[in-house]
Amino acid sequence: MTHKGFQCNNSIEAVIIDKLLMAKANAARVRIFYGNRETGEDYCEEFGTMGYVGKSTGKLPILLLVPRSDSLGGEGILLSQVIRITIDKQNIYQCANYQLPEFRIRQVANFKWVYRHDTATGKWVKTARFEDRRKAEQFIKFMRGESNRK
């Protein structure tokens, strides 16, 4: 199935395409959260999730996430794994069962470790290490979408 010239698999992806094209038309910087749409689990991707929406050329174009509004290329947006999209920290799309990730900070030796709760295994997984608690807290805000800077 195609929607507005882009290949999509279902009506949810069509909605996502509409939201991304709106952001492209307004030259808005977006943040894309990838995850499992069936469970609502956020994959907590740190890199390659912020930028401007672009479009590839060719017979079957795809939407791209480009670093700057004047960039000529970028990463393809994985429509099947988009579970949340924000502009200026405001949701413009969120899947119905989205689960905000749970994080903790633990002191281990001289470092502050950030742990993320893995809902699939029920375990806490080391995610990042910081020397400063403030930086660890800022990282958590970034991962939860409360801030757009680490």
Give residue 1's pLDDT. 62
- Count CB atoms within 10 A of the CB of residue 140: 21
Kindly tell me if the per-residue pLDDT of 32 is higher than 70: yes
User: Cα angle vertex 72, ends 69, 77, to 5°?
Assistant: 75
Alpha helices in the chain (DSSP H): 11-25, 133-144
pTM higher than the cut 0.75: yes
Q: Domain map of the chain by residue range? A: 2-94, 103-144
Kindly tell me if the per-residue pLDDT of 50 is higher than 70: yes
Kindly tell me if the per-residue pLDDT of 37 is higher than 80: yes
C-alpha–C-alpha distance, residues 7 and 26, integer Å: 22
Kindly tell me if the per-residue pLDDT of 52 is higher than 90: yes
C-alpha–C-alpha distance, residues 74 and 63, integer Å: 9
**Per-residue pLDDT averaged across 79-87, rounded?**
96
Give residue 149's pLDDT. 86
Give residue 120's pLDDT. 81
